[in-house]
Every structure is written in C-alpha cells, then in structure tokens.
Structure 1
C-alpha cells in the first residue's frame, strides 16, 4: 500500500518553523518526510532558504520519520564532502535517511563563481559524483580526475548499511539514463501518460528500488484562498527548462513569474478546497504504482494543512487501496512545468 509523506520546503519556511512543522506532521500521521536543499528560494516572496543538512540532523533526532532530500553534488558541494554528510546522517540514524542526487540548478550553484556547465556536462558530472559517493560509502579510498577532482578521500565513519542513492527525474530520457546507478526513482506529478512512460523507461532500463512521487497541492477553507496561495507562492516555479535550470536569482524568477497566469499555476499545482477531490486525485496517482507519495502544500503556513489532511484525508488514503480506473487523474503539469 502506498505511504504518504510530508514535504518540507526550505525555500518557503524558516528552518525553526519547518522543524516544528515536520514534528507536527509526524504527530498528525504522516509516515515519512523529504525536503529541498537550496541556497536560494525561487521567489523573494518565498523568502527563506535554511541549510538543509543542519536541519536534517535536528529533524531526524526529534522525530522517528524516515527522511531524505534532493541534493546536487559537483559544484556547491564537493562529492567527497557530500559523501561525508550522507554517511554521518546515515550512521547516526541507521536506515532512516536517503538522498536523491541531481545535476543541479544555477540558482543554487552560481554562488561558487564557477561557470555553469551545459546540461550534458552537468549530467556527466553527476554520474562521476555518484560513482565517487558510492565508492566512499563502501569504504574505499577514492581518487578521481574528471569533471570533478578527488585526491585520496576516505570516510572514517560509515553506516552499517549504505543509504539509498535515488534519482530525481522528470523526463523519460532522464529516467532511462539514471537507471544504471539509482537505488530508486522520485518524480513529480505530470500527466498520467507521461508518468507511466517515466516509470516504464526506468524499469525497462533495469531501474531498481522504490518509486516515489512528489505532489504540489494547495488546500484552504475556500477555493479562492487555495488559489491565491498557489498563485502567490508557486507562480515563479511554473517555468520549464532550460530557463529553470539557468536562471540565477530569486528576483529574476519573480520577473519571469509576472507573466504566469492562474491557469498555468493550476496546471502545476493541485488546487482545491474540496478534500474529496484531493483524496480522489491522490488515489489515482497511487494506482499508477508509486510506493511513496510526498505531499507539498505550497503555502507558507502548514498547520491547518497538516491537521486537516492528517485527521481527514490520510486515514482514507491509507486504509483504502488505490484502484486503477477509479477517480480522474490529478490536474498535472507538463514535464517542464515544475520541479522537485
């Protein structure tokens, strides 16, 4: 049966408040959590971007949830340093931490002052980083010369079992490419046909492990309020590649977001004041074969969402198996419209 988790958005909530939110989510019945790993938010209106790795230590120590994050090694994070962080959390909280390794976005990586590589080089750099990280987690001393350089790195504190290194993907092409190294796949809500193709590409290329899905949604007591929250907080995110990959500042994302209308936001975010509609859409998505679904309420205030979904929606979702051919699929973005 599909499990449901809480997405902690560091771009939208301060780390202090987000720690309270994830503790609240556990108490309300969410089974796991994941978070973003940003240096900069997507919008000045979002206005936050705490350091994920410090927060993860506190969150894992003060809950019993399994947690993970989406992170990009290779520029902002040297792969050996990334491996050390991953190993430390995994040893302290054995079996409860995973990481999804992506190729990154300029909004976070430009801070190093290094040039922003073109996409094929970023993908190649990611492959090198994954190999370095996996070898370090296996206890090897690693040296490497390529798009990243490593000189005799060795980790001295390791977990008994290496954590899962999963792949965050959106496109069918990426799903097939990462299958060679990933211990699982996480993607975002897209049209049902596209999601099926992503899963099939990953499995067809030999991809192993669990399938996870992140759902952006907006719920409030009224439809008007739910829509207003989504437009305010998420319109700067409704931008496809290569613009989303290459834009460097929150101010630039806001300027682009001025051209984004309500319909585009509704295509990218599951907006509804109707809990039954959210329930039916989530059941349909679960029926596509996802093991884990992470719910991201795109508002900055999380308490009402956590309480309401915990009390009224999660019990229905976790006690009634998803049935193919049931409710209509979620209103979903095109493959380029939103990101993990």
Structure 2
C-alpha cells in the first residue's frame, strides 16, 4: 500500500502554524509527513523559512507518524553537525525519522561566503559527506581531507540504529548516481513520464529501499482560484530549470519566472476537483512507495480538512 504523506512547507508557513498543520495532517488521515530544510524562501511572496531541525523535533514530539526532511550537508552544514543532528533525532524518535541528502542549492548555501561549486564538485562533496556521516553514525572516529575536511570527529549520543539516508534526485543521471549510496530515492514532479523515468533509472542502477515522490498541487474551490494561488505562491518553479540550483536570492527567481498558465501547469497539479486531482496524482505516483502532497497555498488548514473528507479517500481508491 502506498504511503500518503503531507509536505510541510517551511518556505511559506511560519513554524508555529506549520506545527499545527502537521498535527492536523495526522488527524485527517495522512500516513506520514516530510519537510524541506531551507534558509531562504523561493520567493518574497512566500516570505518564511523556519529552521527545519528545530521544527522536526517538535513535530515528532507532538505526532505519532513518521516525519523526514530533505537537507544538504557539505557547505551550510558541516557533515559532522549533520551527523550529530541525525543521530539525536533518531535516538529520540527511533524508527520514525528519515533524511534525504542532496547537493543543495545556492539559494541556501551561498551565505557561508564559500564559492558555489559546479555540479560534479557538489556531487563529490555530497558523496564524501554521506560516507563520513555513515561512519560517524556507526560510532567511528573520522578524519577526512578532501572536498570536505573532518578532524578526528566522533558522535557520542548514538541511536540504536541509524535512520535511512535517501538520495535526492530530479534527473535520471542523478538518480542513477545516488543508487550507488542511498537507502532510497526521493524525487519531485507531476509529469508521469518524467517521474517514472527517474524511478526506473534508480532501480535500474540497483537502487534499494523506498522510492518517494513529492508532488506540488493547488486544490481550491474553483480551477481559476487554484491557478491564482499557484501563480502567487509557486511562480518560481517556472524559472529555467538549468539555472535554479545557482540562483542566490528569491528576487533572482522572481526575475526569471515565466508564470504563464502553461508553465504553471507543468510545475503544479492545479484543480478545483479533489476526485480529478486524485487521478492525476495516482498517475504520476504509480510505482512509488510513498507520495507526499504539497499544497502550494497558504491556507493549509482548509486544504487539510478537504483532504480528510475528499482527497485522501479518493486517492486511496485509485492508488
């Protein structure tokens, strides 16, 4: 049975309100939750960005279902600090936590003042970070002098077993690469052909564990209102894909966005009908073990109540 999860968007919702939202998500019937780990929002209209590591401890303490996050070790976070955070959360909430590790975006990482590497260097840095993190979670003393530098580090408070470390990928090539080290795959998108190719690339390269999909959706009372909400809150996704990893400020995304109806529909599943939306989600998520729904609007309580009465029952019928 496919796990249906709720995505908690730190970029759009203040942390306290987001904590109430994740509690409501469990109440209305979601199986799990996840969040991203940002320092900045994608756009000035979103206007938030709480600290995911503080929030996830509170969220796990106030719910009973699993919650994971997507994070990027190597620049903003030294990998030893990431390992310590992973160990602490898993020790407190065994079996309810996972993390997906990616190579990051300049939007969040440029603040260190270090140069933003090209993708091959970012991938080398991520692989060194993952290797160091796994060794630290195994209780080893670790020294590394490469893309990252670690001096004789160890983690003292360890969980009984480490949490799953998934790999984040949005292309077939990256999915093939993360298959070599990840405990599972997480990708994002609503185009069924593209999501299936990414999943198949991961499995074809020997990728193990769960395949996880995050989908951006806009569900409102009418189609026109759903489109309006997507344009207001998620226009950054219409910026050219090839530059999104390298932009440093929300204003940079806004300058390059092209929020036509067609481009928005490519980035977000937009609908006024929960039943029709459920069919489209199921089509994109076929073959995935988990699907996490991110409503791009700011009225999370209204969306979640509608999930409980309409979207979740419809989705479980077709998944």
Q: TM-score range by the shorter chain?
A: over 0.9
CA deviation map 1:11-32 (0-9, x unaligned):
0000011001001111111110
CA deviation map 1:30-78 (0-9, x unaligned):
1100001000001000000010000001000000120111100000000
Give the structure 2 partner of residue 267 of structure 1: 266
Give the structure 1 partner of residue 314 of structure 2: 316
Please say if residues 180 and 205 of structure 2, whose CA atoms lie closer than 8 Å, have aligned partners that are also in contact. yes
Deviation at 1:196, TM superposition (A): 2.3
Partner Cα separation in structure 2 for residue 39 and residue 242 of structure 1? 21
Partner Cα separation in structure 2 for residue 182 and residue 63 of structure 1? 27
CA deviation map 1:150-200 (0-9, x unaligned):
001101111111100001111110111111110000111243232222122
1:87-236 correspondence runs (5 A): 87-236=87-236
Deviation at 1:284, TM superposition (A): 2.0
Partner Cα separation in structure 1 for residue 259 and residue 190 of structure 2? 18
Give the structure 2 partner of residue 59 of structure 1: 59
The 3-state SS of whatever aligns with 1:156 is: coil
Would you say 1:81 and 2:42 are equivalent positions? no
Moved more, 162-171 or 237-246: 237-246
Please say if residues 190 and 266 of structure 2, whose CA atoms lie closer than 8 Å, have aligned partners that are also in contact. no
Please say if residues 32 and 67 of structure 2, whose CA atoms lie closer than 8 Å, have aligned partners that are also in contact. yes
Would you say 1:22 and 2:42 are equivalent positions? no
The 3-state SS of whatever aligns with 1:99 is: strand
Aligned pair partner of 2:293 in 292, 295, 310: 295
Deviation at 1:224, TM superposition (A): 1.2
Give the TM-score taking structure 2 as reference length. 0.97
Partner Cα separation in structure 2 for residue 79 and residue 39 of structure 1? 17
Moved more, 186-195 or 87-96: 186-195
The 3-state SS of whatever aligns with 2:244 is: helix
Q: Stretches of 4+ moved more than 3 A in 1? A: none
The 3-state SS of whatever aligns with 1:246 is: coil
Partner Cα separation in structure 2 for residue 166 and residue 127 of structure 1? 12
The 3-state SS of whatever aligns with 1:315 is: helix
Partner Cα separation in structure 2 for residue 17 and residue 195 of structure 1? 31
Give the structure 1 partner of residue 39 of structure 2: 39
Deviation at 1:256, TM superposition (A): 1.7
Unmatched segments (≥5 aa) in structure 2: none
Give the structure 2 partner of residue 325 of structure 1: none
